Amino acid sequence: MRRFFLVCFFICGLCGCASVHNDVLGTSQSQVQMRNYQSRSFDTNDKAMVMRAVISTMQDLGFIIDRADEKLGIVSGTSFSLASKLTVSVRQVNSKQIIVRANAQVGLKALEEPIAYQNFFNALAQSLFLEAHEVE
Amino acid sequence: MISSAQVLQDLGFTLNESETKLGLITASKDREAGSSGEKIGIMILAALAGTQAVYDVNQKIYVTLVSTKSHDAKGYNVRIEFARVIWNNFNQARIEKIQDKKIYTDFFDKLSQSVFLTAHNI
């Protein structure tokens, strides 16, 4: 019986170590794969305009804006109805293009469905009157 | 700082605060705490001992990242700190600083990759 308890404690301990590492750094896809479906590029050099469009798109989708940093190009918001959090980053890559990247969590899980991001970028493209291009 | 923000997005964090002048970013993510195997193990042990099973249900992982220019002004020094608040099935919370060296080493590997990807406009 004593040996059984010891084995149980050992297994629990092992699970715990692996679980913390996975919780903090774990993702089901590679960095490149995730960036691919979470990012779109737009043919403009007006970062402030894109950020304003991101904010209004998030508001259209029912998000409450928690934070916006123009210099870093970050907008974060929370939706209570969808139980989700969304962070959108806007970065200028050259004088003609801006890359917008979104990542979200729904409940206790990271949102890893490309279609959800596709819908967000479609709404953003409509708000910007610009076509969204896939980032390669 | 952009690469740092990008790597945090890679890891599923949502950004809470940023102060560009100070090079500070804070972010968090909510996740389920503990694996199913761990919970089952605790339940079996509690049943054998005749006590109530107490296991972790969910957690909020916090990260604070500070990047400052290095002394030779050729690069940046990045400091990162992870902590988490864990709630159990009785809704009791405990705060834990994450001190596993491997987590920090692996994070910096991912940050190096992010610097490369961001520089190549990915």
Tell me the CATH class for B2-119: alpha beta
Q: What is the pLDDT of residue A13?
A: 52
Q: Provide the shortest C-alpha distance from residue A127 to chain B (in Å).
A: 23
Can you tell me the distance from the alpha carbon of B7 to that of A133, in angstroms, rounded to the nearest whole number?
Answer: 22
Residues of B in contact with A94 (CB under 8 A): 121
Kindly list the domain boundaries of chain B, sorted by start residue.
2-119
Can you tell me the distance from the alpha carbon of A63 to that of B87, in angstroms, rounded to the nearest whole number?
Answer: 26
Kindly list the domain boundaries of chain A, sorted by start residue.
29-134
Q: Which residues of B9-45 are buried (b: 16+ CB within 10 A; e: fewer)?
A: bbbbbbbbebeeeebebbbbbbbbbbbeebbebbeeb
Show the low-confidence residues of chain B (pLDDT under 50).
none
pLDDT band at A17 (very low <50, low <70, confident <90, very high): low
Q: What is the pLDDT of residues A78-91, one digit of tens each?
A: 999 889 999 999 99
Task: Determine the straight-line distance between the first and last CA of chain B, rounded to whole angstroms.
Answer: 16
Any B CB within 8 A of A82 CB = no
User: Looking at chain B, which residue has its C-alpha nearest residue A75?
Assistant: B15
**Average pLDDT of span A110-125:** 93
pLDDT band at A18 (very low <50, low <70, confident <90, very high): low
Q: What is the pLDDT of residues A26-65, one digit of tens each?
A: 888 888 999 999 999 999 999 999 999 999 999 999 999 9
Can you tell me the distance from the alpha carbon of B63 to that of B54, in angstroms, rounded to the nearest whole number?
Answer: 26
Q: Which residues of B96-117 are buried (b: 16+ CB within 10 A; e: fewer)?
A: eebeeeebbeebeebbebbbeb
pLDDT exceeds 60 at position A1: no
User: Looking at chain A, which residue has its C-alpha nearest residue B24?
Assistant: A72
* Overall fold of domain A29-134: TATA-Binding Protein (3.30.310)
Q: What is the pLDDT of residue B43?
A: 86
Q: What is the pLDDT of residue A134?
A: 73
